[in-house]
Structure formats: C-alpha cells, structure tokens
C-alpha cells in the first residue's frame, strides 16, 4: 500500500535553488560549522580566510607584497595590492557560482581557491558585503545584502594603487551572538606569512612578516626545548622542517598552496611514512613507527596545481591530488624526504645520534608499558567497565566520523551530572564519559600511569587518542565540571593529563571547557540563564520587580530539560589553547606542581565566587 508521503511526491516537490539560497540553506557545506567565534575553526574565520586566500594567490603570482586587514567589532575589511579584479567582472566574481580567474591555470598557478565558490559564500552569508576593485587608475564598486545586489557603481577614476578591497559583516541571523577572537585571526595570518616569505600582513596596524619560512613557524609553536636544531629541507614546490622534543605525542602543521590543512591528508600521511622509512634505512633497524615519531614537531608545505580537497573548507587534502611533475603525490614526497633527509643525517652525525637516542628511549618505554596495557584492557573488558563509564553516541564514531564537526564527548564527574547530560544530549552526536571522583594528578609521571590507572586507561580508549589524531573518535572533547573549587580542580587534573601525555589533542584545538549558567532568573512570563554576575544583574533589571533567582551550585542541580538548552545549538564552549610563548611544562609546574600562595590567589580570582572558599592542595 502506498503511503501518504508517496502520494504527495510530485513535480511540485522538486525545487531549484539559486546560488545564494543554497549557500544560506546549507552553510555548513561551504564553511564548516557556524559557531560563535570561540573556536578557531568556526565559520566566521573561514569567511576571513576565503577572502585572504584570493589576496595570497595574487602575491604568489608576483603581485602585491602587502595586505591590510581591519577588524572592528563585527566588520572585516581586507585590502590587497594585487592586480585587482578585471573591472567588467567585479560583480560576477562575487555573485556568480563557477565564475572566477582560478579556472585559468596560467593566471593562477598552484592557488587554493579553484572552484569559484569562496567569495560568493562570504557574500551570501553576510548582512553587508562590499567589493571594490582598483585597476589602472579606475575603480568599480558593488554592494550586497545577504547576497542580493544593492549597488553597482560603474567605472570611475581613482588615484588608488591596483588591488581589491572587500568589506563584510557576517549575518547575525546565521552566526548568532558571534564575536571575533583576534588571537585566532593572528595565528591564521602568521601561518600565511610563514608560507609566503616577503609578504607583509597588517592586522589593525600590527605587522606580521617572516624571513625564514617554516623555521619561523616551528620556533613560534614549539613550547619545549628541542633535542636538536630544526632540520630544514626545501625544494621548488616542497618545504619541510622538523625536530624532536622530550614531550609525548606528534605535532604537525601541514599546508597545501598556503592553505592550512588542519586535518592533514595525503601529503601529511606521506610525510609521516617517509620519516619512518628514512630512519629505518639510515639506522638499519626496523623501528616501530610510533617510536620514530614520538615527540616530533614538524611542518610540511607543498604547492601543486589543482589540489583536490575533501570539502569546501579545504582542511584535508584528498587522495586524488597529484605531484607537480606527474608522479603520485605519495611517491614524490617520499623520494624527496629519502634523498634530502638521508643526506642531511650523513652530514650531521651528532644530530643523527641524538635522534637515534630519542627513538631508543621511546622504544624502551613502549616495551615497558606493553604488558601493563594488555592487563589493564583485559581487566576493563572482563568487568565491562567500558560500557559503565562511556555512554557512546548512537553512531559509535570512529576516525571517519570524527570529521563531523559536532561529534562530542563530555567528560563529567558524579552520577547526577553525568545522568543529566546523558538524558539531555543528542544521542546521535554526543557521548558522555563519567569520572569516578577526582582523577590522579599525573604531572611529572611517565606514560605508564595511563595504563596503570584504570580511569585514565578507559578515558584513552574512549577518546581514541592513543594512535594519534587520525584515530580520534570525537572532534570535540568537552570537560564538563562544576563552577566551584572542586570543579576547577578536576578540570586542571584532566588538562594536566592531556597536556602531559597527548599535547597534540590540545594544540590541535580539540579540547574545550563547557560553560554552564551560574544563575537562573525568572518571572511568570520569562526565564533567563546567566553565566556571570553581570548577566544576572541585567536579567534582574529587565525582568522587573522581585524575580525568582536561583544559583546553581553544581551541574547535578540542573534538570535534564534545562540542560538541553546548554548543550544544544547555542552551547557555550571555551576552546583550550596554549599560548605560543608558553612552555607546557612550565604551565603544568605552576598549576600542578608544588603549591604556592600565588596559584591559590589566581584560582580564586578566576572562579569569581561571591565568597572566597578555602582552596585545597592540588597535589
């Protein structure tokens, strides 16, 4: 028997959307997740990147050594000094899909934007968008509102230098309650300058420039002392820099045609394989790949024609990409590393010896913990502890699913808190891991503690981080603790664990702190949830005389129905980042080492409690 929906499926059910409507209906296809600006991969930063990419392409073609960016509140202005968009095509280039100069490989060789979508997406997703091209002492202006043209000012004379100016304000109806974090923008700009030596980029008057390319990039990101000087290898279309430190994990920065491929791809996989293969052949021993790469800090940048990315946001290079001269990309990178690195190691025997000792140290530690790891996993499986601790998503995310930007693991403490989040969560994308009390302070301990400690062993299995970021089961790891001293303590202990043993998880921006409301202010008609004293005072003023005010002392006091609002589309997350100038070891020593009055004062100040409680020892 035919269903009712089948009867209603007619020609009228088929819709054709224009470019603007499609982008606005499915913005995630073009810019990834929307977000509010609290994460470096939120859509508002992709909008900035799409415009800058065009300016960078001009520079790589030899036009314009300066880019000026101004960000004031919600408005972005980007001015380059390239050739300028051909005046007769200014409107088409920002409002017609599949229109642009990137299809002409002679005009834009080895550029990032190849599909003619980027600037159109910015236009469609902005409540105000303005483009102005300066070319041969003439200028043309176009203005749009949410992709709809409002002004087309024809050719006029100008004294301005050649180039393009684009201004836009992201649409507040799509990017709700957003704000630009200038630190994220600065990091993006710095990466551009590291990859384009000789380019100057100004952000609100501050200049960013690089003289030594990837060497400068690594020096700006490495937070611990390197075991040996940075190895720098470079050819026409490929540049590599790497070193090792005493820290755990692997830390990579990969780029294609100046685009930061935060999820790696074929080029990064090939580089990781080539490093291992070269080390094995040079040292004449079949080392475990993890031992060769443990503690590595590396960057790779390649330039190829017509790169194939796995999504419009260009965060991962696809397997279809080919090398500049025709061979497979994997073979091209492997041959380059094998030749150049082998030569380097022969010419620098002291560095080769230091690397060998690092590999042997990693090998020794891995073998020491192998038995402990096996016993711990067997014990957990026998007691069915994984199921008791982890309430997984319905989809049971693996490394492929983790590319979904909304895949989330909440780490909570206590039955009431984990119970509320479990009931309120989206079972398709959100999982919950329940801690039993406070985890161990692992600062200064070896990795053996990960497997000797039942709680940590189960957490590693839940996150899927042991094999590196490629096996990560969730895109966001969210620490959800009470907003009190105990909650801060647990938060610090978990951050210590991740920074001590899996720093790449934090550096790659996967770790977050869940912000939950401190107060509920309501009257008979309206309820407001407030995350600070200021928001509470504002709510009291707006809701009239004597509203009911509730202070939440812990997550367990928030009902599952209320929790839905706090972990849904408008969830407030604070991305955990490590300052470039900060040493992870120094940070951990300050927070988790020997207790000091200065640290107690800092914690009390950050908690912003009405009454200063007694701060317990953190060790």
Rounded mean pLDDT of the chain?
Answer: 83
Report how far apart the first and last C-alpha atoms of the chain are (Å, whole number): 69
Comparing C-alpha atoms, which of 276, 319, 273, 271 is closest to residue 298?
271
Determine which of 89-103, 543-557, 587-601 has the lowest per-residue pLDDT on average. 587-601
Comparing C-alpha atoms, which of 170, 193, 149 is closest to residue 48?
170
Q: In this structure, which topology does domain 20-208 adopt according to CATH?
A: Heat Shock Protein 90 (3.30.565)
Comparing C-alpha atoms, which of 355, 358, 359, 332 is closest to residue 344?
355
- Interatomic CA distance for residues 420 and 153, integer angstroms: 57
Kindly state the average pLDDT of the residues 289-308.
89
Residue 502, CB-side half-sphere exposure with 13 Å CA sphere: 26
Determine which of 25-34, 236-245, 506-515 has the lowest per-residue pLDDT on average. 25-34
- Whole-prediction pTM value? 0.74
- Interatomic CA distance for residues 159 and 141, integer angstroms: 15
pLDDT classification of 582: cutoffs 50, 70, 90: low
Q: Can you say how many angstroms the Cα of residue 580 is from the centroid of all Cα atoms in its chain?
A: 15
Convert the pLDDT of each residue in 403-442 to its tens digit: 566 789 999 987 778 888 889 898 888 999 998 888 888 8
Spatial neighbors of 467 by CB under 8 A, at least 6 apart, are none
3-state secondary structure of 515: strand
pLDDT classification of 575: cutoffs 50, 70, 90: confident
The pLDDT value recorded for residue 258 is 80
Residue 332 and residue 266 in contact, taking contact as beta carbons nearer than 8 Å: no
Residue 24 and residue 147 in contact, taking contact as beta carbons nearer than 8 Å: yes
Reply yes or no on whether the pLDDT at 283 is more than 90: yes
The pLDDT value recorded for residue 38 is 80
Domain boundaries, the chain: 20-208, 214-366, 383-516+552-607
Q: In this structure, which topology does domain 214-366 adopt according to CATH?
A: Ribosomal Protein S5; domain 2 (3.30.230)
User: Which percentage of the chain shows pLDDT scores above 70?
Assistant: 82
Determine which of 345-349, 448-452, 525-529, 611-615 has the lowest per-residue pLDDT on average. 611-615
The pLDDT value recorded for residue 603 is 61
- Interatomic CA distance for residues 515 and 524, integer angstroms: 26
Residue 411, CA distances (Å) to 330, 374, 481, 514, 558 in order: 38, 24, 8, 10, 16
Residue 301 and residue 195 in contact, taking contact as beta carbons nearer than 8 Å: yes
Residue 293 and residue 363 in contact, taking contact as beta carbons nearer than 8 Å: no
Reply yes or no on whether the pLDDT at 350 is more than 90: yes
Comparing C-alpha atoms, which of 86, 87, 88, 80 is closest to residue 63?
80
- Interatomic CA distance for residues 17 and 385, integer angstroms: 50
The pLDDT value recorded for residue 507 is 83
Q: What single DSSP character describes residue 147?
A: T
Residue 44, CA distances (Å) to 113, 225, 505 in order: 18, 35, 23
The pLDDT value recorded for residue 87 is 92
DSSP 320-347: T-B-TTSSBHHHHHHHHHHHHHHHHHHH
Residue 260 and residue 310 in contact, taking contact as beta carbons nearer than 8 Å: no
Residue 111 and residue 50 in contact, taking contact as beta carbons nearer than 8 Å: no
Determine which of 34-43, 80-89, 304-313 has the lowest per-residue pLDDT on average. 304-313
- Interatomic CA distance for residues 302 and 254, integer angstroms: 8
Instruction: Answer with the residue of higher pLDDT: 379 or 46.
Output: 46
Q: In this structure, which topology does domain 383-516+552-607 adopt according to CATH?
A: Rossmann fold (3.40.50)
Convert the pLDDT of each residue in 213-247 to its tens digit: 999 999 888 767 889 999 999 998 899 999 998 88
pLDDT classification of 594: cutoffs 50, 70, 90: low
Token pair recorded at residue 390: 């982890």
- Interatomic CA distance for residues 439 and 442, integer angstroms: 9
- Give the H/E segment covering residue 8: none
Spatial neighbors of 339 by CB under 8 A, at least 6 apart, are none
Q: Can you say how many angstroms the Cα of residue 206 is from the centroid of all Cα atoms in its chain?
A: 23
């Amino acid at each position: 028997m035919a269903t009712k929906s089948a009867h209603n499926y007619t020609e009228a059910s088929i819709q054709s959307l224009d470019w603007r409507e499609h982008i606005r209906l499915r913005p995630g296809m073009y810019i990834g997740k929307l977000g509010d600006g609290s994460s470096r991969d939120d859509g508002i930063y992709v909008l900035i990147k799409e415009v800058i990419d065009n300016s960078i392409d001009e520079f790589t073609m030899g036009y314009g050594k300066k880019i000026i960016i101004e960000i004031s509140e919600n408005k972005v202005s980007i001015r380059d000094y390239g050739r300028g968009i051909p005046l007769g095509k200014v409107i088409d280039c920002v409002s017609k899909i599949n229109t642009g100069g990137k299809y002409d490989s002679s005009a834009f060789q080895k550029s990032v934007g190849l599909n003619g979508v980027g600037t159109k997406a910015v236009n469609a997703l902005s409540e105000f968008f303005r483009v102005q091209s300066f070319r041969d002492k003439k200028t043309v202006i176009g203005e749009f509102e949410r992709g709809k043209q409002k002004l087309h000012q024809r050719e006029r004379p100008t004294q301005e230098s050649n180039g393009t100016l684009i201004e836009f304000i992201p649409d507040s109806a799509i990017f709700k309650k957003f704000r630009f974090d200038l630190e994220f923008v600065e990091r993006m700009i710095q990466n551009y300058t590291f990859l384009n030596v000789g380019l100057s980029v100004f952000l609100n008057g501050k200049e960013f420039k690089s003289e030594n390319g990837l060497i400068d990039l690594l020096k700006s990101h490495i937070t611990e002392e390197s075991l040996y000087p940075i190895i720098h290898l470079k050819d026409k279309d490929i540049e590599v820099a790497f070193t090792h430190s005493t820290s755990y994990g692997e830390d990579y920065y990969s780029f294609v045609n100046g685009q930061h491929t935060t999820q790696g791809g074929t080029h990064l996989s090939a580089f990781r394989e080539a490093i291992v293969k070269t080390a094995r052949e040079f040292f004449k021993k079949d080392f475990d790949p993890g031992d060769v790469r443990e503690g590595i800090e590396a960057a790779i940048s390649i330039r190829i024609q017509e790169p194939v990315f796995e999504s419009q946001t260009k965060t991962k290079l696809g397997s279809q990409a080919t090398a500049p001269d025709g061979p497979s990309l994997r073979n091209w990178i492997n041959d380059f590393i094998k030749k150049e690195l082998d030569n380097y190691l022969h010419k620098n025997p002291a560095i080769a010896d230091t690397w060998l000792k690092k590999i042997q140290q990693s090998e020794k530690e891995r073998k020491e913990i192998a038995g402990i790891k096996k016993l711990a996993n067997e014990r957990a499986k026998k007691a069915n502890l994984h199921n008791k601790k982890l309430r997984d998503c319905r989809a049971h995310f693996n490394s492929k699913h983790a590319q979904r930007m909304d895949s989330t693991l909440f780490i909570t403490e206590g039955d009431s808190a984990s119970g509320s989040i479990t009931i309120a969560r989206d079972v398709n994308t959100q999982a919950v891991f329940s801690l039993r009390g406070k985890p161990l302070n692992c600062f200064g301990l070896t990795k053996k503690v990960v497997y000797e400690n039942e709680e940590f062993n189960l957490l590693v299995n839940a996150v899927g981080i042991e094999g590196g970021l490629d096996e990560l089961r969730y895109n966001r790891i969210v620490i959800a603790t009470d907003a009190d001293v105990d909650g801060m303590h647990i938060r610090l202990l978990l951050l210590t664990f991740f920074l001590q043993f899996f720093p790449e998880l934090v550096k790659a921006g996967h770790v977050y702190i869940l912000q939950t409301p401190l107060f509920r202010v309501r009257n008979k008609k309206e309820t407001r949830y407030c995350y600070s004293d200021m928001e509470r005072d504002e709510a009291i003023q707006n809701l009239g005389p004597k509203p009911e005010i509730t202070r939440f002392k812990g997550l367990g006091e928030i009902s599952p129905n209320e929790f839905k609002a706090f972990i849904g589309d408008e969830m407030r997350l604070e991305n955990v980042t490590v300052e470039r100038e900060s040493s992870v070891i120094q940070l951990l020593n300050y927070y988790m080492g020997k207790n000091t009055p200065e640290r107690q004062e800092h914690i009390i100040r950050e908690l912003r409690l009405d009454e200063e409680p007694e701060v317990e020892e953190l060790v």
